[in-house]
Amino acid sequence: MPRSGLDPDTALDVRLSAICSRNRYTTDAAAVIDELRHIAGERADILARVAGSWVGYYGDDHTRTLCKALLEIPGVIDWVTLGRARRDAGSHGAPAVRP
């Protein structure tokens, strides 16, 4: 894994999330799941958190194939609610400046 200023767990989280996003519209998720498991290695906890949060945030008709496959990863269900909460929180930004 390339060096970054992030701690290893965060760097892995970002990398796994990027794999999910890059493959969101796949029609065959088997290779994606294999890649995620390979990259996660021993860190099944981080894989479950990323996959569950991703499903909760991005799950819709367009991502159905990948989401269905991600939901088969042990521990994912525990994180779906967090992803939904993040999606429903809306965007954050600086307050508007009023004249």
CA distances to 11, 28, 32, 58, 97 from 55, rounded to whole Å, are: 19, 16, 14, 5, 36
**Is 41 exposed, middle or buried, given 0-12, 13-18 or 19+ CB atoms closer than 10 A?**
exposed
pLDDT: which is higher, 92 or 62: 62
DSSP readout, 19-34? HHHHTTT-S--HHHHH
pTM: 0.83
Residue 42 in any domain: the answer is yes
Q: Which residue's entry shows tokens 């029609």?
A: 27
Residues 4-23 have a mean pLDDT of 94
Q: 16, exposed or middle or buried, with CB in 10 Å at 0-12, 13-18, 19+?
A: buried
**Percent of the chain whose pLDDT exceeds 90:** 80
Number of domains in the chain: 1
Q: Does residue 82 lie within any of the structural domains?
A: yes
Residue 24 reports pLDDT greater than 80: yes
Query: Taking 70 as the threshold, does the pLDDT of residue 3 lie above it?
Result: no
Render pLDDT for 66-83 as a digit per residue (tens, 0 to 9). Answer: 999 999 999 999 999 999
Determine the structural domain holding residue 61 and report its residue range.
8-88
Q: Is residue 52 assigned to a domain?
A: yes
In a domain, 95, yes or no: no
Residue 83 located in a structural domain: yes
